[in-house]
Structure 1
């Protein structure tokens, strides 16, 4: 049905800066995430984006002060970006109408958008190039919104078949999180990512993943808007880097690994990137 995504695949989607680059040519990611209830999602996503390697992160959201305390280099005013990350740390049920309007504006634009968590309900019917990043329960809700039948998500092949069907109906890349992450493109192609560790199953790591993918997409979009197949490859590459960073963080604690947090994963991302470069 598809192949496993490997380090050699990921290396081809990393953009090494040159002497001719500046902060704009290296990629600018816009981040519209977090809420009063879950402000840490913004800190984790922004941290991960910076540490994956790009020229600038613009944050627009309610966690501005927390983001600047952690990453003072983050820009918090509107301006040009090459890609967006939205939805992490938000809840559609409590989203204000003004925020819904702003998110719909992003999703109706031409720039690629990584759609997570509380913005997934807005993905159907959107026209922007999209990567959606649900876990299994969010995927089931997304399928229901698309009018798709319940699907088996108990095994790898069943999850893959469901993700492919969702991607085709949505017209967007689906990154289905799990012990084996499945990345399905609207064309029906699928990639499996198994670079992680069970220690990665902890709160906030999905927010980190969004930042990693966002950084890769923004960097790639400096030349041209990536097509759907390239977006799927970038999503798989972000997932692989996220998993590799988690393994590196856990292995610092011993051969069998040990407890890590989402911020631990973000902080080790530069080492995962450097390995491949």
Structure 2
């Protein structure tokens, strides 16, 4: 397989298109109808990934986040976001794998990941859970960077060197979506959202300051929040995954722009980006009115 096997034009993802995927709560909505996201992420080695993912999801606008992970990581999540819930219960979507390493996956984490995959709800599969894709039967959107996509395809016997993906990210995003049967949000200087059926969406890159540790964890949280808000719709129509993923990337990029602008066009922290997520969502909500 090569990226040249598929020739499908792309659409540039705009604020106007993204606005259609922002679910603004009605007066009779409550925490369960607004969307509940289950999160199995972070590890003792990388607890910050869970904190950033939960933080980003809650700033994007949903009813509840359920965090399931090591107690020490859960304590860090609660210290930052006391409204997070650390017990089992119903969810509309799952976020899996941020800040985890398959080579260092304990039995408890493996059980949590298996249970989430078996739940049958739509999945955001990040970093340390990409190896579990073959087990998923529900709609999936994965969020690899170029190196992770190279490794994932290589594990399937597909020759996809990092250099080749760097040179043709859009081609490899749509080829990977077709080969793996899942939506792909391929992160990079320009982000691409690809669907197994061939749809390809281009999301313009944000400020260069965005290339920093934790940015992908925050993006996964944004995507998880949007997916939870549209969980039932995605079960009925998995083609919604690519536009939801593209909208998450747009919101994430816009928040980065706002965070940088607040610092005179300079650098920002990922928590600084997260603080701007409500502004980015609000801009889209206003467009959609």
TM-score (norm 1): 0.95
Given that 1:180 and 1:192 are in contact with CA atoms closer than 8 Å, whether structure 2 keeps it comes out as yes
Q: Distance in 2 between matches of 1:33 and 1:145?
A: 22
Following superposition of structure 1 onto structure 2, how do residues 93-112 of structure 1 map, counting pairs within 5 Å?
Answer: 93-112=103-122
* Unaligned segments of structure 2, at least 5 residues: 1-8
* Unaligned segments of structure 1, at least 5 residues: none
Q: Distance in 2 between matches of 1:32 and 1:54?
A: 17
Partner of 1:5: 13
Number of residues of Structure 1 aligned to a counterpart in Structure 2: 273
Given that 1:27 and 1:222 are in contact with CA atoms closer than 8 Å, whether structure 2 keeps it comes out as no
Partner of 1:218: 228
| TM-align CA RMSD | 1.4
Given that 2:117 and 2:135 are in contact with CA atoms closer than 8 Å, whether structure 1 keeps it comes out as no
Find the partner of 2:50 among 42, 45, 63. 42
Asked if 1:23 corresponds to 2:35, the answer is no
Q: Distance in 2 between matches of 1:102 and 1:26?
A: 24
Partner of 1:269: 277
Asked if 1:132 corresponds to 2:142, the answer is yes
Given that 2:97 and 2:127 are in contact with CA atoms closer than 8 Å, whether structure 1 keeps it comes out as yes
TM-score (norm 2): 0.91
Query: Shift of residue 41 of structure 1?
Result: 0.7
Partner of 1:144: 154
Q: Distance in 2 between matches of 1:43 and 1:161?
A: 33
Given that 2:150 and 2:165 are in contact with CA atoms closer than 8 Å, whether structure 1 keeps it comes out as no
Asked if 1:71 corresponds to 2:81, the answer is yes
Given that 2:50 and 2:99 are in contact with CA atoms closer than 8 Å, whether structure 1 keeps it comes out as yes
Tell me the secondary structure at the aligned position of residue 165 of structure 2.
Answer: coil
Q: Which moved more, 1:173-182 or 1:189-198?
A: 189-198
Residues 125/32 of structure 1: CA separation in 2 closer, same or farther (3 Å cut)? closer
Q: Which moved more, 1:12-21 or 1:219-228?
A: 219-228
1:57-94 CA distances to partner (integer Å, 9 max, x unpaired)?
A: 11111211111111101111100000000100111111
